[in-house]
Amino acid sequence: MELFLPESGLMIWMLIGFLIVLFILAKVGWPMIMGAVTKRNQHISDSLIAAKEANEALAGIEEAKQKAIAESQAEQLRIMKENQELKSQLIEEARNQAKAEAEKIVADARLRIQKEQAEAMNQIKAEVITLSVDIAEKLLQRELSDKKAQNQYIEEILKDTPRVEA
């Protein structure tokens, strides 16, 4: 058991050495350690403040981004609405223009048809007149073989027919 129990002189020297080391550490080491801990605490506090400011700045940037997105979406909707209105207006204008063209074509066609009808009627009248004259000439040639009878018949016809003024 003596191995486990130190002598009293050794105990005193160990206590003196311990107190010297404790004194040196208290005078030199402890202020250095406390200064490092304080410096580290200050650095951590500064980092936390900087992180908080960065988070606030990031939140501001995020808010600005959301606002810009909302504005761009509103602008996109406005442009799409304007394009839709322009499209509707162009379609309406094209419809009106096509309608006017169709009416013009129909009017031109009607005029052409009327002209062609008039020409056809004139041709038919001319043919009827020509045929009538040919038939009348043949009849008159057969019935009126001499010149005197022909002249007399022409005078009768001229008296009976109303005069057409041109």
Say how far apart CA 116 and CA 120 lie, in whole Å.
6
How do the pLDDT tens digits run along the chain, 166 residues long?
Answer: 566 677 788 889 889 999 999 998 889 888 888 899 999 999 999 999 999 999 999 999 999 999 999 999 999 999 999 999 999 999 999 999 999 999 999 999 999 999 999 999 999 888 888 877 877 777 766 666 667 776 777 777 777 766 655 4
Kindly state the tokens that stand for 88: 């509707």
pLDDT score for 166:
43
- The DSSP letter of residue 6 is -
Question: What is the per-residue burial (b if ≥16 Cβ within 10 Å, else e) of 2-30?
Answer: eeeeeeeeeeeeeeeeeeeeeeeeeeeee
pTM for the full model?
0.40
Kindly state the tokens that stand for 136: 């009348």
